Amino acid sequence: MNSSVQHTRILKIGEAANQQDDLLAVEEPLEIRLSYGPLRERQQSSISVTMRTPGHDFELALGFLFSEGIIRNYEEVISIRYCRGENQQEAEENIVRVELSPDTQVDLQKLQRNFYTTSSCGVCGKASIEALDTLCTPLTNDDFSIEEKVIHQAPAKLRKAQLVFHYTGGLHAAGLFDKDGELLLWREDVGRHNALDKLLGASLSANKIPLKGSFLLLSGRVSFELVQKALMGGISMMAAVGAPSSLAVQLAQQYGITLMGFVRNQQFNIYSGSHRVSIKEKMQAPF
């Protein structure tokens, strides 16, 4: 079975130079294969290869398929398992095969379109947001709100739960909190997108999507793709320790997502949807 950490020997430089043992976050490729179509005309496609930290691989595959719009619910999945590739030397647990129900309509062109919309350029950004119109609706009608202090407390709670990060310092995390600040679910990975896909996959398999009444905290910066994934999951509020990109803010504003960044040192910035955050001092003009 794959492990999330790996031992190594290092030369640590400080007041003196000493050899000692250390732990690294494991990074290995995961190939996601899809089997779909009528029973007599099944098709198979390798749709993604991502560098990830082993663990929760099935959730990663499910979350990826869901956030990319390939599947809409867990009922469309017949089975998911590890399999070997043509090369028998390939690691058995680095290939995941997802079998979809025969009546599931699959549009692999969605993956191709998304491949060209990750540069955050003006034209591609507009096309990316327009493409979501067929999949998502604005989240402006929910009444979810949260107190400022809950946001301040969340990063420490997520960091405390990150066991692999504690040993390696090399993983991103995505955590889901309720309005009182209780950490409901979290996942770690070397990739920011993978951590969120794992969280969405776990929620999808538990039939908890849309994720209403909770907010998302990310350990790094916020890109357009991460806001898109949150939108697909029905998450109306998200925060991050790092900064958001311009296109991430644009998407959050257009779809009514509350977006916060630089959540650290008892401070944070609100870029969109400030009405969902109860702050200690009144603002002049909420936006």
As a residue count, the chain comes to 287
CB atoms inside a 10 Å sphere around CB 275 = 13
Q: Which long-range contacts (CB under 8 A, 24 or more apart) does 186-190 make?
A: 186/158, 186/161, 186/162, 187/56, 187/59, 188/4, 188/53, 188/55, 188/162, 188/163, 188/164, 189/52, 189/53, 189/60, 190/25, 190/27, 190/51, 190/52, 190/53
Residue 173 sits at the vertex; the CA angle it makes with 168 and 178, to the nearest 5 degrees, is 140
121 is catalytic: yes
- How far apart CA 189 and CA 170 sit, in angstroms, is 9
Among the options 83, 121, 124, 136, which is catalytic? 121
CB distance 150 to 169 below 8 Å: no
- How far apart CA 277 and CA 38 sit, in angstroms, is 48
Which amino acid type is present at position 231? L
Listed residue (76, 63, 78, 74) closest to 104, CA to CA: 76
Count of CA atoms in the C-beta half-sphere (13 A) of 254: 19
Burial group, residue 120, by CB count within 10 angstroms (0-12, 13-18, 19+): middle
SS3 208: coil
DSSP state of 70: S
Residues forming the active site: 121
